[in-house]
């Protein structure tokens, strides 16, 4: 049952990513950038052949292989019930969905469609899948740090 629930969550978040990219390709790619909040946020169509912040540009095959390996490891951890925390499981589901969303683009087009552009700061253009990966990873890191301190405190109390 857990595998089905995790697949549904991953599929739902991946579908949101793909749907937002479809909307951007069918509107912003055709009509040009769309400013949502003046001088704060706009949608701008970008074809990213690299990874975060366009690093490793034109290395689609390498990035695809690395992403697939990370997705497989996360799924094995999830479905092998190696994680003892529901929160950490949710974090992995969010990370996997972002990876799958970007893998679909890399395989289908040879690049990832990015479109969210913060205008108030010099920052990379990104997409919903990137948000999932980043939020999931930060949540997981935060949880692991919290758990580390909690375990250390419990160990000190028992001594």
Q: Could you give the residue numbers annotated as active site? A: 114, 130
Q: Is there a contact between 99 and 71 (Cβ–Cβ < 8 Å)?
A: yes
121: DSSP letter: S
- 90 contact partners, CB below 8 Å, separation of at least 6: 9, 139
- 22 contact partners, CB below 8 Å, separation of at least 6: none
Q: Which own/partner contact pairs does 146-155 have at CB distance under 8 Å and 24+ positions apart?
A: 147/85
């Amino acid at each position: 049952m857990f595998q089905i629930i995790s697949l549904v969550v991953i599929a739902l978040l991946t579908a949101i990513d793909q749907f937002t990219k479809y909307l951007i390709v069918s509107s912003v790619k055709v009509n040009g950038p769309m400013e949502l909040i003046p001088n704060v946020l706009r949608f701008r169509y970008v074809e990213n052949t690299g990874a975060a912040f366009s690093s490793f540009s034109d290395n689609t095959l390498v990035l695809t292989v690395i992403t697939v390996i990370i997705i497989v490891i996360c799924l094995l951890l999830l479905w092998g019930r190696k994680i003892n925390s529901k929160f950490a499981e949710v974090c992995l589901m969010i990370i996997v969905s972002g990876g799958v969303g970007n893998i679909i683009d890399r395989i289908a087009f040879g690049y990832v469609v990015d479109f969210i552009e913060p205008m108030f700061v010099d920052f990379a253009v990104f997409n919903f899948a990137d948000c999932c990966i980043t939020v999931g990873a930060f949540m997981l890191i935060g949880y692991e740090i919290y758990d580390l301190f909690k375990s250390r405190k419990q160990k000190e109390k028992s001594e």
